[in-house]
Amino acid sequence: MNFSDIFKSKFLSQVGSISPLDALITLGIAIAIGLVIFVVYKRTFSGVMYSSSFNMSLLLMVVITAVIIMTISSNVVLSLGMVGALSIIRFRTVIKDPVDIMYLFWAISMGIIVGAQQYLFALICVAVIAVLCFIMSSLKKKDKMYLIIVRYKHGSSAPVESALKAAGGKVRNKSVSKGGIEMIAEVNTKVADSDFVEKLLTINGVVSAVLVNYNGEYAE
């Protein structure tokens, strides 16, 4: 059978039936997996501002993708038309955090697996990925970085730099102006949890000292 014979045959017109029980099971498992992704994203979120609408879209994306896959698997012609219709969709929302892209791909892939009625495989995958997300989130929280922004007058550079060096601080930026000097240094968690910032203010010439939590991408 060649390609033209396929079009002449009734292969493309075959329509498979979806039983109500299978549809309910697929939707139920898709909703359960979507809720798992919803909870994992909410518990492990460490961005600048949490978006409940984005998290809700992850849940709905699992269900919608599962419905699409379940529908097109019952009809070859419908599957071809669905692929053409979905190819014109363009997403305009800018995703700044790479982790959010991972969650989008996770939700879509889970919807595809559930829609293909690979329920056991979908449950195993979502459990393993959820555990990995919690592990990576806990490791990220333990490995926190802090920035100390010190503003001081001219002539106080030596005591400030010696204090930062004694605390294991690494100078990242130093800005000099006529009004004074601003220095940004990276310190570890132990220094940030102590009264090191207050000790800096006791140095003669120090105007202010600000402690900022920094995750490598943005300041909190």
- Domain membership flag for residue 219: no
What confidence score (pLDDT) does residue 67 get?
87
pLDDT of 82 above 80: no
* 98 within domain boundaries: yes
- Residue where a domain stops, chosen among 113, 142, 171: 142
Q: Is the pTM of this model over 0.85?
A: no
Judge if 127 and 153 occupy the same domain: no
Same domain, 167 and 205: yes
Same domain, 174 and 116: no
Tokens for 45, please give them. Answer: 């979120």
Shared-domain flag, residues 98 and 61: yes
For residue 220, is it within any domain?
no
CB 219 within 8 A of CB 213: yes
9 plus 55 within the same structural domain: yes
Q: How many domains does the chain have?
A: 2
Relative to beta strand 170-177, strand 180-187 is antiparallel
User: What is the CATH classification number for the domain harbouring 189?
Assistant: 3.30.70.260
| Residues 170 and 123 both lie in one domain | no
Using an 8 Å Cβ cutoff, are 149 and 120 in contact? no
CA dihedral over 101, 103, 107, 110, signed as positive or negative: positive
What's residue 41's pLDDT?
Answer: 92
d(CA 8, CA 143): 63
3-class state of residue 213 by DSSP: strand
Cβ-Cβ contacts under 8 Å for 61 (sequence gap 6 or more): 34, 104, 107, 108, 111
Q: Check whether residue 58 and residue 47 sit in a common domain.
A: yes
User: For all residues of the chain together, what is the average pLDDT?
Assistant: 78
Count Cα atoms within 13 angstroms, Cβ side, for 52.
0
Position 37 in a domain = yes
Domain span at residue 209?
145-214
Mean pLDDT of 56-62: 91
Same domain, 154 and 103: no
Percent above pLDDT 70 for the chain: 72
Residues 180, 126, single domain; the answer is no
As given in the structure block, the two tokens for residue 130 are 């959820």
120 and 19 in one domain? yes
Same structural domain, 45 and 57? yes
Asked if residue 136 lies in contact with residue 128, where contact means CB atoms within 8 angstroms, the answer is no
Is the domain of 84 the same as that of 171?
A: no
User: pLDDT tens digits, residue range 11-56?
Assistant: 445 555 677 888 899 999 999 999 999 999 998 887 667 788 888 9
As a whole number of Å, the CA-based R_g of the chain is 28
Q: What is the Cα–Cα distance from 218 to 220, expressed in whole angstroms?
A: 7
Task: Report yes or no on 89 lying in a domain.
Answer: yes
CA distance 154 to 131: 52
More confident residue, 172 or 103: 103
